[in-house]
Each structure stands twice: as structure tokens, then as C-alpha cells.
Amino acid sequence: MYRFAFVVVLVTAISVETLQAQSVSLPRSTPESQGVSSADICEYIEAADREVNSMHSFMLVRHGHVVAEAWWAPESADKPHVLWSLSKSFTSTAVGLAVADGKLSIDDRVLEFFPDDAPAEPSANLKAMRVRDLLTMSTGHQDEVDWLEAEHWAKAFLTHPVPHKPGTHFRYNTPATYMLSAIVQKVTGETVLAYLKSRLFQPLGIEDPRWDESRQGISIGGYGLFLHTEDIAKFGQLYLQKGKWNGKQLLPESWVDQATSRQVSNGSDPSKDWDQGYGFQFWRCRHDAYRGDGKDGQFCIVLPELDAVVAITANSGDMQAELNVVWDKLLPAFGDEPLAENPDEQAKLNAITAKLKASR
């Protein structure tokens, strides 16, 4: 099977503020001007192409500039991609905005929002469940509710047993994210998709986002969002900039700090990126990074210490291996200062990516 990739590395370095004000696209720059080695980027792309089955796209942003981007055919820059559970980080953002708007508190009880959908005799643990517990995947469930065949997803969630005290037991829980979406819709009168359009998508220049809905007309929240690779990169850049975009605070800095910090423990293996702690629908990573991620290898990786964002889409059977290539091959590419321009390596990078064909 043949796969193709195309990377564009542009050489014009223009201020982030100027271009973001004029264009919906992030500014482009050479890797070296932003302190990144073209040769190391090339090594990363070759390793990802060889070791990840299979890559769809990659974008690297440093100091607010796109320094490398790649799409493996038939994917392309103008083709929306399914985000799977990377959608959860966008739902969390909607909750943060609703909190900032005074619509709710993360310490509100979940049952308060669903008086007509609650079981006749809710358990003490269900009564104790808060919005915070939905955000941190610590609702108290032992097993995820089998909800997809249910006629009413919120009712199915609320009737599911809650054997653990909420806040004490991490259990990855996509229906919990759906409940966050439903709560945002309850308090704003808009779907999460509609609510985010004017507050997030339009300011970031994200055009035509699509989000699948439940039978009740609620954005699924936990998955179902379709965006372009650059949209993922913009989202990561917004978080890297502590919620600020073009000089405007779109999202409170306090929310960014809360959402991306370790709120609950989810394991203890230092070699696994799924054991580094969980925030508000964001995962902590090794290397002091954090990420939103989705099934099959959809990643928005934010590296605050390096002032960088990595956006990846894929159809991978091993997401940890996909991250390992980033850590092993891409991290060494970063320097503290701009590097001397290296036209030969930049040309090599363009040539290698333009003709990239690999078979397995």
C-alpha cells in the first residue's frame, strides 16, 4: 500500500500578531527561524511514516508559527478529520466559557440540571455527583454505561449504578462528557457547537465545524466533532497562550490552568502517557506536556516549556507508540534560540516529504 505526504515549509517570517489579524491561518515560518532543526523534523516525519500505521497529518507550531505541516494522501489541508475523543477537550472549553458567563459552577450537582430525567429514588452517590466529577472522569461509575442503544442518553446515564463516591475513582467515561454537553445546552439554550461558534470557532478562524448529535438534538460532546488539522493546532495555541487570542482573552486563564493541570490520578507508570494524571477533559503527558486526544491517534499536544504545539491525525492501532515517536524524534529538534538558516536541510525536508512513499 502506498502513502503520500506533502509538507510545506514557508520562509517568510512575519509577526504573529500581524498575520493573525489579517488571516484566518496561522503564520508560517522556517523551522530554523523559530529555533527548530529542519533535519530533526525530517527524521521525525520519516520515523512517523515508518512506525505509525497510519499517519494522516502532522503540524508543528513554534512561537506561534507553523514551521512544518504534512498530509498523507488521501488526507489534505482542506479536508475535515474526525477528532473522536479529542472532541472532549472542546466540550470542556464550552463548560469553561459557561462558567465564565455565570451560567453554572463546576460544584453544581448534576441532578439539578435534569429534574425530569432523574430516577425515582436516586442513590446517595448520584445525588453527590458534581459537574467537576464529570470533567475529571470521576463520576463514581465502575463501568461505562451502555448508552448508544438507549432512547434517551441522559436518562440512561442517570439510572446507571454509581457504586463509588464521586471524585474518588477515575474511570474514563464518554457518557460523562455527553452530560457536560447536555448541561451546557440546558444553561445556555444552545448546543455546544452553536455556543462555541461565536466564542471560540469564529475568533480562531475555524470554519464550518461539524458535530454529530444525539436523538435529543444535543452535541455528543465526547466525540463527533470534525475539524481540519490547522484547527486543532489553533486550539492548542489558544491554550498555550493561556486563553488569549489576538490580544483578547477568549477563555479565562484560570480555566486553562485548571483544565490542563492534574486534577485526579489515573495511574503510576512513569513510562506511560496515560498514567500522568487527568485534568478537565485533558490528559497530562510526560515531558511536562498536556494533550487532548482521540481514538486512533488524534492528538493536540501542548508543550508549554518549549512554546510549541503538535497536531496529529492518524488511524493508529498504537497511540502510545505514536506519542513515543514525538518524544524520541521531535523533542530533540527544539533549541532555545533561533538557529542559522539552513537552506540545504530545508530543501531536503521539502524533497523528502514531497516524495514520501512507504509500503508495509
**pLDDT of 268-309, one tens digit each?**
999 999 999 999 999 999 999 999 999 999 999 999 999 999
Cis amide leading into 54 (omega within 30): yes
For residue 15, pLDDT beyond 60: no
Q: Any idea what DSSP says for residue 281?
A: S
Polymer length in residues for the chain: 360
pLDDT over 90, % of the chain: 87
Would you say 56 and 81 are in contact if contact means Cβ atoms under 8 Å apart? yes
Of the CA atoms within 13 Å of residue 184, those in its CB half-sphere come to 32
In 174-229, DSSP assigns E strands to 210-211, 225-227
Would you say 205 and 24 are in contact if contact means Cβ atoms under 8 Å apart? yes
Superfamily assignment of 84-227 in CATH?
A: DD-peptidase/beta-lactamase superfamily (3.40.710.10)
Instruction: Name the pTM for this structure.
Output: 0.92
Name the pLDDT band for 23 (thresholds 50, 70, 90): very low
Closest C-alpha among 3, 77, 11 to residue 311: 77
> Would you state the pLDDT for residue 139?
98
Give the three-class secondary structure for 319: helix
pLDDT tens track for 159-214: 999 999 999 999 999 999 999 999 999 999 999 999 999 999 999 999 999 999 99
Residue 265, Ramachandran bin (φ over 0: left; ψ between -120 and 50: alpha; else beta): beta
b/e sequence 74-91, b meaning 16+ C-beta within 10 Å: ebeeeeebbbbbbbbbbb
pLDDT tens track for 224-271: 999 999 999 999 999 999 999 999 999 999 999 999 999 999 999 999
Residue ranges of domains in the chain: 3-79+228-247+284-358, 84-227
